[in-house]
Chain A
Amino acid sequence: MTQTLRLPAPLLAARNIVTFLLRQPTSAFGVIVLAALILTALFAPLIAPHDPYVQNLNNVLQPPGNGHPFGTDELGRDIFSRLVWGARITLTIIFLVTIVVGPIGMIVGTVSGYFGGKVDMVMMRVTDIFLSFPSLILSLAFVAALGPSLNNAIIAIGLTAWPPIARLARAETMTFRNADYIAAARLQGTSPLRIIVKSIMPMCLPSVVIRLTLNMATVILTAAGLGFLGLGAQPPLPEWGAMIATGRRYMIDSWWLVTFPGLSILCVSLAFNLLGDGLRDALDPKQMNRR
């Protein structure tokens, strides 16, 4: 009974939020680009006209047109097909970073906020240390330590992206740590672990999800930056940042090698920023009523 009654409410809210986002041109752009990204990644084999890895040395550095809408690269590979397959890498990065950062930030934040005192002090000190670096520099250092590869880049980004989430989860936890229903659970002898997992974490979830969306633009730019510096995805993987790095040598004569991968990165990161901006408005009740 409770299950059937409860389920539609969040779904309804989600639908309302999407409707709201689609009504404004800026956030609608975000929704559409991200939908396109997901579809492209899912149906990459159907969309891409060529194999992203097959070289054709008779057809190198061809300008756009002639069966290659975005031209070919220095090894004769079709750039459009590589971009399409690259969408899968971008999506993988987003997905993996989310499942690394979400739980770490959540656990550190809720535990720290729930227990307070010394636990809180120690954990927040650690968070502060991580926050005292720009994220790209710390990721660089981690990748250098772990060795350059796509997986390590994802781990490194994950390791540097959790502190803001932890800060947020902590602040949220502290607002309802002393709520009556938490006190009631404690009086019944519920273990702190159970209270945190069952009562506090679900309450933090919505704002953490929003924050993750907002941070995704930074994650994508950091991943692309690592790829560009040769510390992320390694050739021949069609990662967009790495594609720009290899195209750099030819950029003066063959502009299409760097232009299209860069536009792809720009679109996706802009989409996340616009979406985050719209989400913030969508979840602000004052704004909702006015429109």
Chain B
Amino acid sequence: MPDRRPRLRGILGQITTIAVTLLGLLLLTFIIGRMMPADPVRAMVGEDATRETYEQVFRQLGLDRPLWEQFLRYLGDVLSGDFGNSIRTGKPVIEDILHVMPATMELATFAILIGAGLGIPLGVTAAVNKDRWPDHLVRVFSLFGHSMPIFWTGMIALIVFYAALGWVGGSGRMSQFYIGMVPDRTGFLLIDSAIAGQWDVFRSAVNHLILPASLLGYSSSAYITRMTRSFMLDQLGQEYMTTARVKGLSRGQTIWRHAFGNIRVQLVTIVALAYGSLLEGAVLIETVFAWPGFGQYLTNNLIIGDMNAVMTCVLIVGVIFIGLNLLSDILYRLFDPRTK
């Protein structure tokens, strides 16, 4: 029987690491929250409140206690699932965030499909044709995607494809006309409209999704292309590729069956990480396209200084990132026979 102890210790070590990172994350969001200039008490009680009311709320929130005690209290609240209420709407912020998340996930999922669908074949092409013109072309194309300010490209694309050509829908998730026609079941508009059989709404949603998703996808394809190319180059130089050719496989078969087959696991981890960084682009692209998702929620609350909402948003992004890192790690362990 193989010795399982080192593996177990590895897992325990990883769990400790994650716990420490999460704790640090909470500390960071706590510090950011405390540094915010907006006065949470004033925002809750209003401008006309008496001094007594103000101080009562001040104490209720625990703001008179030392900072470390406030942090412990924050920690306790978060662990029990209480992320505080939005100062603006008065509702628990976590509810608000869960409400806007599907819109962003719909956008990000389509974007990653486009990004991977574009980046992986381009990366393979570049690697197979290293230092020849397809490689240079792919390099410039992907550096371009990496260099563009996505909020600007979004506007230019709106001017060209929506205002001038009329090929796609404009801002928002669907035309104004359809808003409220589909009952909100999952929050994913494509799924909801399909369930309801409202194909007009579905078409409108696709029309509005295609442009922001393509732009996000293009910008994430830069990273995917670069990594695919370098993974492929590693494989193409390996001796087992010669073995496959000697067996009588064609060049295409050796590239796709053997070399590409061997980088699949690595690619999945890369795509998982790229999915996380889409959140970044989403913040900007959602503002440009008036997309009612997580990014827009975050920026709106940043501007009005809603402390609880901002802290929770930052925390969620951090957790998603850690989760995706962990996921890619697990996938690697599961699917690469050499790690067993």
Contact = CB atoms under 8 A, between A and B. Distances in A.
Is there a direct interface between A and B, measured as CB atoms under 8 Å apart in the complex?
yes
Interface of A: 26, 125-126, 128-130, 132-138, 140-147, 217, 221, 224-225, 228-231, 241, 244, 248, 251-252, 255, 258-259, 261-262, 265-266, 269-270, 272-274, 277
B21 interface: yes
Interface in B270-291: 276-277, 279-280, 283-284, 287-288
B32 interface: yes
B139 interface: yes
B253 to A, nearest CB: 30
B314 A259 contact: no
A45 B207 CA distance: 47
A230 B283 contact: no
B45 interface: no
Given A225-B149, A229-B299, A125 B35 contact: no
Given A262-B152, A270-B144, A273-B147, A134 B24 contact: no
Given A136-B283, A140-B283, A147-B37, A244 B155 contact: yes
Contact of B163 (A130, A144, A252, A270): A252
| B interface, size bucket | 35 or more
Given A140-B298, A228-B151, A241-B149, A134 B32 contact: no
A141 B310 contact: yes
Given A137-B317, A140-B283, A217 B147 contact: yes
Interface string B156-199: 10110001000000000000000000000000000000000000
Contact of A270 (B21, B31, B143): B143
Contacts of A145: 31-33, 35-37
A147 B302 CA distance: 10
A285 B144 CA distance: 27
B146 interface: yes
B155 A251 contact: yes
Contacts of A229: 283-284, 287, 299, 302-303
B302 A134 contact: no
A105 to B, nearest CB: 18
A270 B147 contact: yes
Top 7 closest pairs, chain A to chain B, by CB: A262-B152, A145-B35, A134-B280, A129-B24, A270-B147, A269-B147, A144-B302
Contact of A144 (B136, B159, B310): B310
Contact of B279 (A134, A146, A259): A134
Contact of B152 (A26, A134, A252, A265): A265
Given A132-B322, A146-B35, A277 B139 contact: yes
Nearest to B148: A266
29 contacts: A125-B17, A125-B20, A125-B24, A128-B21, A129-B24, A133-B317, A134-B317, A134-B321, A136-B283, A138-B314, A141-B302, A141-B310, A141-B314, A144-B305, A144-B310, A145-B33, A221-B147, A224-B152, A225-B283, A231-B302, A244-B155, A248-B288, A252-B163, A258-B155, A259-B156, A266-B147, A266-B152, A270-B147, A274-B143
Contact of B146 (A137, A252, A262, A273): A273
B15 to A, nearest CB: 14
Given A145-B36, A270-B147, A228 B25 contact: no
B140 interface: yes
A228 B284 contact: yes
A194 B21 CA distance: 32
A262 B276 CA distance: 25
A133 B149 contact: no
A194 B85 CA distance: 51
A125 B35 CA distance: 23
A134 B276 contact: yes
A125 B27 CA distance: 13
B28 interface: yes
A136 B149 contact: no
Nearest to B28: A129
A252 B37 CA distance: 36
B92 interface: no
Nearest to A26: B140
Contacts of B136: 26
Contacts of B287: 228-229
A126 B139 CA distance: 34
A229 to B, nearest CB: 6
Contacts of B31: 145
